[in-house]
Amino acid sequence: MTDKDTPLAGLRVVELARVLAGPWVGQLLADLGADVIKVESPEGDGTRQWGPPWIERADGTREAAYYHACNRGKRSIVADFTDRDDLVQVADLCSRADVVIENFKPGTLDRFGLDYETISLGNAGVVYCSVTGFGQDGPRRNEPGYDFVIQAMSGMMSITGEPEGEPMKMGISISDLTCGLYSTIAVQSALLMRERTGRGQHIDMALLDCSVSLLANQALSFFATSENPARKGNSHAQVVPYGVFEVADGEVVLAPANDRLFRALMRVLRRDDLADDPRLQDNAGRIANRDWMERELADEVRKWKRDTLLAHCRDAGVPAGPINAIDQVFEDPQVKARGMRMELDGVPSLRSPFRFSDADLVFDKPSPRHGEHDGEIDFLD
């Protein structure tokens, strides 16, 4: 830390959320300087027990690594919503919060007076963000939202995987994480709007909406043609060549995404004949001749050692890279230089990627123990 300010210093956040999408919002806001109070049930956020693997603290206590992925920098208190005194305390926190994050099923918090309508009566400036599987309206509003199910329903799995293989999910909980990111953008936008209007508002975020929005160019391809995009494995539907290629000692990704870069790669591979072939001078031609051209390219690439080819591509300005396992990622000199792996009081952590010229992030404490801050059930001045 330096003496720079933090972007969200002084912002008060109550997190009534568990698992991933909601807590991801809370962690991002905490990293940006907000005071985030995580309100947990007596049983605690379920991800505390989602191990192995486990992370053990210096005092011998342990929680699942999953829990630590999305709860850094917060304070934790325990509240039983069926206990009147606990409920009064939580309602009081919400009445003085700038932001409330919740991910209960629609209507659940109405029973406890912790819904937006009730809280906003005494706190007109509150920005209240609801994160659910399907949103606050529509025929599926009361159904639970699980990342895997949302990936399937959103169309993402239909375009992920090998052409002849089964539909595949992502190796990360992309629907949860994306909803968390979109929700953070929405919260910050509503806070900025509050500066103009003096009023907060209710933000309705749905995992399905956020995942459908990620279809991006694939959705536009469907809109333009009325045809479902096909799974293409590691190939690209609109750019050729673009994919995974075998080298003599492994595999690499090659992504020459325009005509100039294609010709540059062919020069690296000493295939001037392909660089100058009239059939391959633009992307449309390369798509039309994809099969034979990629076979020619694959034969050439197999002659190279990985690091040698990547060095030549780097010198020629051709986008290319190794396919790293996770251990290799954190040994990469660039990842090390950017400080993406951190340790907070002996607890490993993954850095948020924000970097500001005149502001700091807050990385001063790991994820809280269950109820660690019960004696501080208040916002700090």
Catalytic annotation, residues? 176
**Side chain identity at 72, as an amino acid letter?**
R
Q: Is the peptide bond before 319 cis (omega within 30 degrees of 0)?
A: no
**Side chain identity at 4, as an amino acid letter?**
K
**Side chain identity at 218, as an amino acid letter?**
Q
For the chain, the 3-state helix, strand and coil shares in percent, each to the nearest 5, are 40, 15, 45
For 89-132, what is the HEC assignment?
HHHHHHHCCCEEEECCCCCCHHHHCCCHHHHHHHCCCCEEEEEE
How far apart are alpha carbons 349 and 367 in whole angstroms? 9
Cβ-count burial 251-289 (b if 16+ within 10 Å, e if not):
ebebbbbeeebbbbbbebbebeebbebeebeebebbeee
**In which order are the strands placed within the sheet that holds 75-78?**
75-78, 35-40, 12-16, 99-102, 127-132, 201-206
Q: In this structure, how many other beta carbons lie within 10 angstroms of the beta carbon of residue 58?
A: 8
| 3-class state of residue 247 by DSSP | strand
**210 contacts 174 by C-beta, under 8 angstroms:** no
Region for residue 345 given its phi and psi (left: phi exceeds 0; alpha: psi -120 to 50; beta: otherwise): left
Q: Which residues pair with 100 in a beta bridge?
A: 14, 128
Q: Which residues pair with 132 in a beta bridge?
A: 206
Helices (H) and strands (E) in the chain, counts: 15, 13
Q: From 41, 16, 6, select the one nearest 126 (Cα to Cα).
A: 16
Show the tokens assigned to 283. 């992307």
How far apart are alpha carbons 314 and 330 in whole angstroms? 21
